[in-house]
Amino acid sequence: MVGIMIQTEENKKYYNKEDIYFLKEELKKYKIAAKKTDEDNDHKLSYSNADKRQCSRLEKLIELINTGVKIEDYGDGLVLINDVFIVSLLKSRWRTLNKNTWYWHKHDLNHFINTYVTQDTNDKNKSK
């Protein structure tokens, strides 16, 4: 029987600049595995490369960490930014916490951070 893990303060994973070194090491391993998968499946017309997808996720996570926002692991390839925005690490999609409408963001993450995340923080500070 599989148990359900309840999210508590103790088991939340937050990312900060100190994690970048370990994420880059993990990224190197996935890049090697992705290259091997590409070579092994070169003769096929289409194949799935989970390691390449994980490389994309890690690259985006590192880029988000470098912006300096508060990042929490939200599970299944998603991160929670500043306790408000849920961002997909694989696709260019984001939504607001407790809302179901997904929006597209530009490939440039700084545009997303400056337009939505920073502006949301400034709006909350003005209303206090």
Report the half-sphere exposure of 74 (CA within 13 A, side-chain side): 21
For the chain, report the end-to-end CA distance as a whole number of angstroms.
48
Position 5 scores a pLDDT of 44
**Which are the contacts of 96, defined by CB distance < 8 A and separation ≥ 6?**
84, 85, 86
**How confident is the prediction along the chain (128 residues), in pLDDT tens digits per residue?**
444 444 555 678 999 999 999 999 999 999 999 999 999 999 998 999 999 999 999 999 999 999 999 999 998 899 999 999 999 999 999 999 999 999 999 988 999 999 988 886 666 665 65
d(CA 44, CA 34): 15
Report whether 70 contacts 82 (CB < 8 A). Answer: yes
Residue with tokens 């929670």: 80
Structure tokens at 10: 């103790």
Length reported for the chain: 128
- Measure Cα distances from 103 to 8, 29, 91 in Å: 28, 31, 11
Position 12 scores a pLDDT of 80
Domain ranges of the chain: 14-127
pTM of the model: 0.84
